[in-house]
Amino acid sequence: MQYEAVIGLEIHAQLLTESKMFCGCPIKFGAEPNTQTCPVCIGMPGVLPVMNKKAIEYVIKTGLAVNCKIAPYSRFARKNYFYPDLPKGYQISQYELPLCEGGGIGITVNGSTRKIGLTRIHLEEDAGKNIHEGAGNHSFVDLNRAGTPLMEIVSEPDIRSPQEAAEFVKKLRAIVRYIGVCDGNMEQGSLRCDANVSVRPIGQKEFGTKTEIKNMNSFRFVEKALEYEIKRQIKVLNEGGRIIQETRLWDSGKGITESMRSKEEAHDYRYFPDPDLVPVEVDDAWIEQITAQLVELPDARRQRFITQYSLPEQDADLLTSERSTAEWFEQAVKSGGDPKAVSNWMMGEFMRLLNEEGKQIDESALKPKQLVDMLALIDKGTISGKIAKTVFEEMYKTGKEAEAVVKEKGLVQISDTAGIEAVIGEILDKNPNEVERFRAGDEKLMGFFVGQIMKAMKGKANPAIVNEILKKKLGS
């Protein structure tokens, strides 16, 4: 039997507001436990929540970016359950009337683009954190995170492979980062992804029973966990078993998913409208105001990069995956850089050096103009493309200008024909056997000669002139 996978994702994104969802406590990652709290977010009796308008704006902004319908009227509900990190005994969330519905995101896998529909985006509050490490046979509760605004984005079951699922998360992450509503940090948990997955025989309309997978804190783990879970489900079915609807935890160490608890149903939560909060009304004027703040999104920018700068798709993909990278590129082009040359240096040396240090482009001191100046030195023939790598690395590390680096390190390219000719003469004299073999037809030796000459001239000889003289002398 051939099976296909059906996947729907639920993504939680912590919003980048200054304060919490229903109180004025600041949001700070890594603060001393229980220092960012007040009677509201630790659930004291008799206190009342007050909505954070910015958080609502951020959800609307996200909804607009992915073409959702923004609800003119929505409401908060209480989702009741007991857990030590939830001091009120209920989470304020949205249930039957979410802020956004519909919309979708286009994803491209192996060259083909598909639209993944969105069911809804709603706003809720995050819970605190239970800490089990370093507590002996006790556990601690840290409520700093309790009450942080959390946006939940639910996809339709439109995703058909682990690769598509990872691509969807990547795309969504790029969007929320572009519009500045979430930092998208999966390791620190500001973007978390739960995956619902089932399998069905190819050709069957009805969905199979799904499981929900949690605890995947990177794109790679989303893909790996789903690959594992799909195989597991197919094996169970092929052995005549049934899939149990349950929540499973991804264990990245073991590379498997393990049963955590049986699936709870909506009625288990006894949802009801929160009587402490007024309904949220969004009028057209507010939507217009938020629309005006929207920036160009990754897809549109990618398309524009291809047409406006004649870049290959691969370049456009990489350069637009982060807003700061796209901005850096456009500044370089504005200062006179050739788009493809700028792109090559950014995707090559620049990314390599950034990756080595685990840095983002906006954390680097290197300015777009510095790269453009260096490209001009290559064009003028002052430095060779090879030497430019040394210059680039030095600029990157010290922040010095290209010209200064070239002067200080004596990297000016040697284009003096007589000088180069003399060195070539010496090399050929020293290697009579190779010269003979070359003349007998072993043309691969050209590389050997160029290598020897460049070594003798510390890489500074103008390669075009070297090639020209060498060919003449070897009589080829």
> Which position among 8, 87, 147, 298 is part of the footprint of ligand ADP (CB under 6 A)?
8
Stretch that binds ligand ADP, among 4-12, 45-53, 216-224, 283-291 (CB under 6 A): 4-12
Shortest gap between Cβ of 211 and ligand ADP (angstroms)? 9
| Cα 169 from Cα 167, distance rounded (Å) | 5
Query: Comparing C-alpha atoms, which of 314, 298, 11 is closest to residue 159?
Result: 11
Helix, strand, coil proportions of the chain in percent (round to 5)?
40, 20, 40
Q: Which does 154 bind (CB under 5 to 8 A by kind): ligand ADP, Zn ion, none?
A: ligand ADP
Which listed range, 149-157, 227-235, 358-366, 372-380, lies at the site for ligand ADP (CB under 6 A)?
A: 149-157
Among 10, 349, 401, 434, binds ligand ADP (CB under 6 A): 10
* Cβ closest to Zn ion, residue 41 vs residue 127: 41
End-to-end C-alpha distance for the chain, whole angstroms: 64
Smaller CB distance to ligand ADP: residue 216 or 420?
A: 216
Q: With binding defined as CB under 6 A, does residue 248 bind ligand ADP? A: no
Give yes or no for residue 421 binding ligand ADP (CB under 6 A). Answer: no
* Tokens linked to 274: 């929160």
- Could you give the C-alpha distances from 182 to 174, 194, 319, in angstroms and in order? 10, 17, 20
Which region among 155-163, 293-301, 334-342, 412-420 touches ligand ADP (by CB under 6 A)? 155-163
With CB under 5 to 8 Å by kind, the binding choice for 256 among ligand ADP, Zn ion, none is none
Among residues 156, 299, 327, 434, the one that binds ligand ADP under rule CB under 6 A: 156
Go through 23-52 and write b for each residue having 16 or more CB atoms within 10 A of its CB, e for each that does not. bebebeeeeeeeebbeebbbbeeebebebb
Task: For the CB of residue 155, give the shortest distance to ligand ADP in the complex, in Å.
Answer: 5
- CB contact at 8 A, 357 and 397: no
207 binds ligand ADP (CB under 6 A): yes
> What are the backbone angles phi and psi of residue 138, rounded to the nearest 5°?
-110, 175
* Number of residue whose CB is nearest ligand ADP: 8
Q: List, as one string, the DSSP characters of 156-218.
A: -TTB-SHHHHHHHHHHHHHHHHHTTS----TTTTSEEEEEEEEEEETT--S----EEEEEE-S
Q: Which stretch binds ligand ADP (CB under 6 A): 65-73, 99-107, 135-143, 191-199?
A: 191-199
Which is nearer to ligand ADP, 228 or 392 (by Cβ)? Answer: 228
Q: Does 162 bind ligand ADP (CB under 6 A)?
A: no
Query: Nearest distance from residue 168's CB to ligand ADP, in Å?
Result: 11
CB of 141 to Zn ion, least distance (A): 15
CB of residue 126 to ligand ADP, shortest distance in Å: 18
Q: How far is CA 361 from CA 297, 329, 392, in A?
A: 18, 11, 15
Phi first, then psi, for residue 458 (nearest 5°) are 55, 35
Amino acid at 408: E
In 3D space, the residue among 307, 334, 266 whose CA is nearest the CA of residue 79 turns out to be 266
Quick one: what does residue 25 bind among ligand ADP, Zn ion, none, with the CB cut-off 5 to 8 Å set by partner type? Zn ion
β-strands 149-155, 112-125 pairing: antiparallel
Closest to ligand ADP by CB, 10 or 403: 10
> Which of Zn ion, ligand ADP, none sits in contact with 23, Cβ below 5 to 8 A by type?
Zn ion
Burial class (CB within 10 angstroms; exposed 0-12, middle 13-18, buried 19+) of 264? exposed
Q: Which residues bind Zn ion (CB under 5 A)?
A: 23, 25, 38, 40-41
Q: Of ligand ADP, Zn ion, none, which one sits near residue 38, judging by CB under 5 to 8 A according to partner kind?
A: Zn ion
Question: What number of other Cβ atoms are within 10 A of residue 340's Cβ?
Answer: 13
The binding site for ligand ADP (CB under 6 A) comprises 6-10, 154-157, 196-198, 207, 210
